[in-house]
Amino acid sequence: MSEAIFITGTPCTGKTTVSEVLSSKLNCKLIKINDLAIENDFVLGIDEEKGYRIIDIEALDEKVSEIISESDELIIFEGHLAHLCSGADKVIVLRVNPDILRPRLEARDYSESKIRENLEAEAMGVCTSEAFEEYGDKISEIDVSKLSIEETVNVISYVIEDKLDFPVGEVDFMDWLISNF
């Protein structure tokens, strides 16, 4: 029986790095959602105003479901769109304080409007909210602001093993939003 773990969050919260280390530690398959979308030609176009790829979420969801149904092992799906797909046994939402997130976004040379949009999304918990609609209590929302990669990997390992629980609603960056906008 396969198990699917989705790791999601706002850009620059550490999803990719953590997922790579975690999949190596657990000796399991890692699928990067963005790569899956590109490789399968699920990119419908580019949002010229925001610079984002527009992804066919329905087609992506079907592909993710197909991969899960054909597998008999643990698979980690990583990406900020992962939570929009179905089939996860657990969803891990990585959260980072916007003051820590800003320099990470700036380092990627994002435009100020894209940085602002991502900071607002993080402060408002958009990924968590969207994931909650689909998955409810299958979600763990982890504030990784002060955790190293190794600490984050260990925490997620415990969540996967049902040894730790991080229920939705404990991470709150609304004060940041109110004081910065």
Does the predicted model carry a pTM greater than 0.85?
yes
pLDDT at 26: 95
Token pair recorded at residue 136: 């409810």
- Residue 178 placed within a domain: no
- Residue 62 placed within a domain: yes
Angle between helices 149-160 and 15-26 (to 10 degrees): 60
Above 80 in pLDDT, residue 1?
A: no
Above 80 in pLDDT, residue 56?
A: yes
| Residue range(s) defining the domain that contains residue 76 | 3-170
pLDDT at 146: 96
Question: 162 — alpha (psi -120 to 50), left (phi > 0) or beta?
Answer: left
At 60-103, the pLDDT tens digits run: 999 999 999 999 999 999 999 999 999 999 999 999 999 999 99
pLDDT at 134: 92
Mean of all residue pLDDT scores within the chain: 93
Above 90 in pLDDT, residue 171?
A: yes
Largest CA distance in the chain: 48
- Residue 179 placed within a domain: no
- Residues that constitute the known binding site for ATP: 14-17, 108
Cβ atoms 142, 160 nearer than 8 A: no
Among 71, 78, 75, 103, which residue's Cα sits nearest to residue 17? Answer: 78
Among 31, 29, 6, which residue's Cα sits nearest to residue 138? Answer: 6
- Residue 175 placed within a domain: no
Domain count, the chain: 1
- Residue 21 placed within a domain: yes
- Residue 127 placed within a domain: yes
Token pair recorded at residue 65: 């479901």
- Residues that constitute the known binding site: 14-17, 108
| Confidence category of residue 144, pLDDT binned at 50, 70, 90 | very high
Above 60 in pLDDT, residue 37?
A: yes
Please compute the mean of the pLDDT values over residues 1-5 and round it to a whole number. Answer: 83
The CATH number of whichever domain residue 58 belongs to comes to: 3.40.50.300
- Residue 38 placed within a domain: yes
At 14-23, the pLDDT tens digits run: 999 999 999 9
- Residue 177 placed within a domain: no
pLDDT at 174: 87
